[in-house]
Copies of this chain bind each other. A is one copy, B any other.
Amino acid sequence: MSEKLTQGQIQEILDSSPFISFCGMTCEEIWPEEDKVLVRMPMRPEMERAPGTGQWHGGPIASLIDVAGDFALAMVLGGGVPTINFRTDYLRPATGDSLAATAWVRRAGRTVGVVDIDVHDEEGRLVAVGRGCYSSKIG
């Protein structure tokens, strides 16, 4: 059994990815006993849905869901894992300077892991939910 990743190790892997780094995602908090992580993403002009609305496009939200779910399982398994599939449900239009994705592992099996992801805006409104299935093989 490998050791769980620390918050610093997670951030290091996040930063090493050009895409995640461009998105500015940070691992803001981890709860190792609950297999849970919090990943935050700041708004960028490039992520706006329609000009001047301040509304997030769904694409970056789906990306945040994918990454947060991935790193909840990565923390538990001790290294990054490939996404197999995931579902995104948009619940409300999302606005504001940043979004916070809380991801927690529902099951870390031998072949795959299943993770739930809730995305809140800065007012605490639930704007989207995700559910992802990731490979349990690190690499």
Looking at the complex, which one of B23, B88, B90, B106 makes contact with A129 (CB distance below 8 Å)?
B106
From 47 to 105 in chain A, residues with beta carbon under 8 angstroms from any chain B beta carbon are 47-51, 57-60, 62-64, 66-67, 82-92
Q: Are B57 and A17 in contact (CB under 8 A)?
A: yes
Copy total for this chain: 4
Interface size class of A (residues with CB under 8 A): 35 or more
Enumerate A19-50 residues with CB–CB distance to B below 8 Å.
Answer: 19-20, 22-23, 45-50
- By a CB distance below 8 angstroms, the chain B residues around A19 are 46-49, 57, 59-60
Query: Is A114 an interface residue when CB atoms closer than 8 A count as contact?
Result: yes
CB–CB A111/B85 < 8 A: no
Chain B nearest CB from A88 CB (Å) reads: 6
